Structure 1
Amino acid sequence: MNTYKITLLSLLATLAVVGRYLFQFIPNAQPVTALIIICGILLGPIEGIILALLVTFLSNMLLGMGIWTIWQIVAWGIIGLLSGLLGELFKKVPVIVIVLFSVFSGYLYGFIISLTTYSVSGAFWPYYIAGLPFDTTHAIGNGVFMIVFYPIITRLFKKYAEKRFTIRNTN
């Protein structure tokens, strides 16, 4: 990993932490998942996992640490890994597929976070079903943030990456 990718990861982490903090008043609607997906698709699976770790740790320093922090790292790390693999498997991923993947990721994140309750109390399904409205908010938010951020970040990355390193899935 070169200095340019580290710089991009730092900028994405800052954007995600600030976005999570600014949108904390809307339950589960924050740009973190969308930015991790964008990072994974454009930079790779390892970078997606690193961004998930950074954002979770840094934003939870502001919003509060707890046992859920580990599960957030796992959930966002898996999403970063899957999006990185999506970017590696397909030379060009259509935007509609990326938006649908980001909506799916909202529900995947909620499912993994619900496993926290199972590990503590042994009750999974009641907690998961009760959380479905929040997962839906997360999924819709991911779709909206992806529609807004993906074209902007792709254009900026393409401009920045010229002659420094290669990024995938751009025109």
Structure 2
Amino acid sequence: MYKKQTTYLMILFLIPLLIALGVIPFRDRSYMVISIFIAILSFVPIFFTFERGKTNTRKMVMLAVMIAMSVVGRFIFAALPGFKPVTAIVVITAMFFGAEAGFLVGALSALLSNFYFGQGPWTPFQMFSWGMIGFIAGLPYISEQLKSRRLLLILYGIFAGIVFSLLMDIWTVMALDGTFHFSRYVATVALSLPFMAVYAVSNVIFLLLTIKPIGEKLERIRVKYGM
């Protein structure tokens, strides 16, 4: 219980607080430091789930593979803005390895791929947005429903596209002067609706294409090695 409470505290409170500190007091000048701290905090919940040595190593190897797939997938589809397999890979990882793993893969996928796409004050927001999408998908009840009901998986893909866009629009608004104005946020969301639609559609397409081949392999590995 203590470990679970600590995990929720870090992901739902401490990391958003770090992001807010980066935007408001530091005016986005320390975004790389904030990003590194988020990456470090993302590892802590994973360590809480470790029990046996060999299982720990195998789990870290699998998570590293999923992060690499996510980063490479974002590279491959670089020419199509918003049309990326990152969310699908993050969600599938969370479904089979848990909420903590989903957050880690989401956060590190954003950080590492941005060494190619460009680091900036948007990086912490991307890390948190993809991380939260994975975290929610990996919660026990939700992950079981996503595995057993294809329609819910499709709806979650749409939900993830909407959530990612809404969270990133917060950064768009605050990046102007470090303050949040609701009217400005509404206008930003309205302008970003086409991109939101692309995010949602791409999530659904990649989830439907990858859930069977990747999901079956992850399930066999998870069962075989007791992860």
Relative to the length of structure 2, the TM-score reads 0.69
Q: Is the 8 A contact 2:100 2:135 kept in 1?
A: yes
2:224 match: secondary structure: coil
Answer yes or no: is 1:119 the counterpart of 2:171: no
Please give the per-residue CA displacement for 1:30-79, whole angstroms capped at 9, x wherever unaligned: 00011111111111010011101210111001110111101101111111
Answer yes or no: is 1:96 the counterpart of 2:157: no
Relative to the length of structure 1, the TM-score reads 0.90
Answer yes or no: is 1:108 the counterpart of 2:108: no
Of 111, 135, 139 in structure 1, the residue corresponding to residue 200 of structure 2 is 139
User: 2:60 maps to which residue?
Assistant: 6
User: 1:77 maps to which residue?
Assistant: 131
Of 101, 105, 125 in structure 2, the residue corresponding to residue 51 of structure 1 is 105
Count of residue pairs brought into register by the alignment: 164
Look up the equivalent residue of 1:25 and give its one-letter code: A
Backbone CA RMSD of aligned residues: 1.4
CA distance in 2: counterparts of 1:8 and 1:99, whole angstroms:
25
1:25 match: secondary structure: coil
CA distance in 1: counterparts of 2:58 and 2:151, whole angstroms:
28
User: 1:18 maps to which residue?
Assistant: 72
Structure with the larger helix share: 2
CA distance in 1: counterparts of 2:66 and 2:102, whole angstroms:
10
Look up the equivalent residue of 1:16 and give its one-letter code: S
Answer yes or no: is 1:149 the counterpart of 2:210: yes
Question: CA shift at 1:92, angstroms?
Answer: 4.5
Answer yes or no: is 1:40 the counterpart of 2:101: no
CA distance in 2: counterparts of 1:6 and 1:157, whole angstroms:
13
Look up the equivalent residue of 1:114 and give its one-letter code: D
Question: CA shift at 1:118, angstroms?
Answer: 1.9
Look up the equivalent residue of 2:67 and give its one-letter code: A
Answer yes or no: is 1:165 the counterpart of 2:226: yes
CA distance in 1: counterparts of 2:157 and 2:58, whole angstroms:
26
User: 2:121 maps to which residue?
Assistant: 67
Unmatched 5+ residue regions in structure 2? 1-49, 51-55
| Structure number with higher relative contact order (C-alpha < 8 Å, ≥ 6 residues apart) | 1
User: 1:29 maps to which residue?
Assistant: 83
Q: Is the 8 A contact 2:126 2:168 kept in 1?
A: yes
CA distance in 2: counterparts of 1:40 and 1:6, whole angstroms:
14
Q: Is the 8 A contact 2:145 2:152 kept in 1?
A: no
Higher radius of gyration, 1 or 2? 2
Change (3 A) 1:16 1:119: same
- Give me the identity figure in percent: 27
1:124 match: secondary structure: helix
Question: CA shift at 1:154, angstroms?
Answer: 1.3
Deviates more, 1:1-10 or 1:21-30: 1-10
CA distance in 2: counterparts of 1:137 and 1:119, whole angstroms:
23
